[in-house]
Amino acid sequence: MVVLLRKLRCYMTALLSSIIIVLLLYFQNSVLVFTDDSYGFISKKVQCACSICVTDRGNSHWFSERYDNKVPLLLNSTNSVLRANVSRWWKELQSNAGNYTEVVHQLFPLFPDKEHYSDAGPDRCRTCAVVGNSGNLLGSNYGPLIDFHDFVIRINKGLTEGYEKDVGSKTTHRIVYPESAVDLDNSTHLVLLPIKILDIQWLISAFTTKNITQTYRKVPSTIKANKDKVMILHPEFIRYVYDNWAEGHGRYPSTGFLTLIFALHICDEVNVFGFGATSGGIWHHYFEKILTSYETGVHAGKFENEIINRLQQENKILMHKGWT
C-alpha cells in the first residue's frame, strides 16, 4: 500500500510538473490583464526580435487606432481592382485621368507581381532608416549609423555622393514620382508613388517606349533602374495614410510622410533622419540652398509634423535631428 501511494504521488508530481511547463510555454507570449472584477490572460504573439517592435499594439492605444496591418501596401495583379471610394478619391487628385484598367494590364507583365515583406517573425529584427532631405543632416556624421540598417529608404532626389559622411551611401529603397525621379543602382528598389494614372503610364514608358516626357512639367523619358526591383505604392495605401494618419488634412500626404508610414509597415524598428528644420528653424534640403516650407502647398506639413512627433512620443520611431 505504501509503495502504491509513493508511485501515485510520483505520478501526480510528474503530471503537475508537465502541466506547469505547458502553461509556462503558453503564457510566455501572453499578458496578464486585470479588470475591476476579474483577471485573465490574453494571447500575445511575439512580434519580432527587437527590444521594441513597431507593430506591438499593446503599448499605444493611439497607434492602435490608426495602424491597419491589412491595408495593401503595394499594387499587384491580385489587388489592382480599387474599391469605389478609393478609386473616386484617387481620381479626384488627377486633372487628366487615363484608363486605369488598361494601364494595369500593361503593368505586371513588365514588373514583379508578387507579395513583398512577408518575412516578419519573432526571430527577425528588421531595422529601417528613413532618410529625409533636411538641412539638419549637414554636419551630423550620421552616415555610418544610417548604413548600418537593414533597409535604408530615401526620398525623391536626396543625394548621397559627396554627402556620405552625413547621410550614408547605402540605399535599398527610393520613393519617387516622375517629377522627382533619379537614376538608381541595380540593387535599389524603385518605389513609385502614383498620385495620378499618368505616373504609372510614365513608369511603363520609362522602361519601354520612352515617349512620355511631360506631365505637369518636363520629366525624364527614361530612368536607370532595375525593373525587377520596381514597386508601386497602392492607391488604397495612399488613401489610408490620408484618412488614418493625416486625418484628412491637406489634399494628399507628402512623400516623406507616406514613406515614414510605409516604413512602419515593413520594418520592426524605425529610425528617422533628415526630417524637420535645422536647429536655427531653417527649412532647406541638405543638397541645395533653396528654402522650403512645410506650411504651404498641397500637404498639411504642420499637422504631419505633429503626427511624426507623436510617433516618437509613443516609442514607434526614433528621431535623429542632427546637429546644425
What is the three-state SS of the chain?
Answer: CHHHHHHHHHHHHHHHHHHHHHHHHHHCCEEEEECCCCEEEEECCCCCCCCCCCCCHHHCHHHHHHCCCCCCCECCCCCCCCCHHHHHHHHHCCCCCCCHHHHHHHHCCCCCCCCCCCCCCCCCCCEEEEECCEHHHCCCCCHHHHHCCCEEEEECCCCCCCCHHHHCCCCCEEEECHHHCCCCCCCCEEEECCCCHHHHHHHHHHHCCCCCCECCCECCCCCCCCHHHEEEECHHHHHHHHHHHCCCCCCCCCHHHHHHHHHHHHCCEEEEECCCCCCCCCCEECCCCCECCCCCCCCCHHHHHHHHHHHHHCCCCEEECCCC
Q: Is 216 annotated as a binding residue?
A: yes
Q: Is 276 annotated as a binding residue?
A: yes
Query: 305, 99, 125: which is closest to 204 by C-alpha?
Result: 99
Whether the predicted pLDDT of 14 surpasses 80:
no
Q: Is 143 annotated as a binding residue?
A: no
Q: What's residue 322's pLDDT?
A: 82
Q: Would the CA dihedral through 98, 102, 108, 111 be positive or negative?
A: negative
Position 232: which residue type?
I
Residue with cell 488634412: 249
Whether the predicted pLDDT of 247 surpasses 60:
yes
Decide if 117 is catalytic: no
Q: Is 96 annotated as a binding residue?
A: no
d(CA 64, CA 178): 33
Of the candidates 67, 100, 142, 252, the residue annotated as catalytic is: 252
Q: Is 256 annotated as a binding residue?
A: yes
Q: Is 133 annotated as a binding residue?
A: yes
- Is the Cβ–Cβ distance between 317 and 271 less than 8 Å? yes
pLDDT band at 52 (very low <50, low <70, confident <90, very high): confident
pTM: 0.83
Q: Is 252 annotated as a binding residue?
A: yes
Q: What's residue 1's pLDDT?
A: 52
Query: 162, 224, 215: which is closest to 190 by C-alpha?
Result: 224
Size (the chain), residues: 324
Q: What's residue 58's pLDDT?
A: 67
**How many CA atoms lie within 13 Å of 233's alpha carbon, on the beta-carbon side?**
31
C-alpha dihedral over 88, 78, 47, 311, to 10 degrees?
Answer: -20
Decide if 252 is catalytic: yes
Percent of the chain whose pLDDT exceeds 90: 64
Task: Give the residue-averaged pLDDT of 295-310.
Answer: 82
Least confident range from 36-45, 178-187, 243-252: namely: 36-45
Q: What's residue 95's pLDDT?
A: 75
- Say how far residue 133 (Cα) sits from the centre of its chain: 17
Of the candidates 149, 189, 299, 320, the residue annotated as catalytic is: 299
Q: Is 250 annotated as a binding residue?
A: no
Q: Hey, what domains does the chain have and what are their CATH numbers?
A: 2-43 (no CATH), 57-320 (3.90.1480.20)
Q: What's residue 12's pLDDT?
A: 52
Least confident range from 245-254, 269-278, 281-290: namely: 281-290
C-alpha dihedral over 79, 81, 84, 89, to 10 degrees?
Answer: 80
Max mean pLDDT range (38-47, 231-240, 295-304): 231-240
The tens digit of pLDDT for each residue in 143-201 reads 999 999 999 999 999 999 999 999 999 999 999 999 999 999 999 999 999 999 999 99
Cell of 193: 508613388
The mean of the pLDDT values for the chain is 84
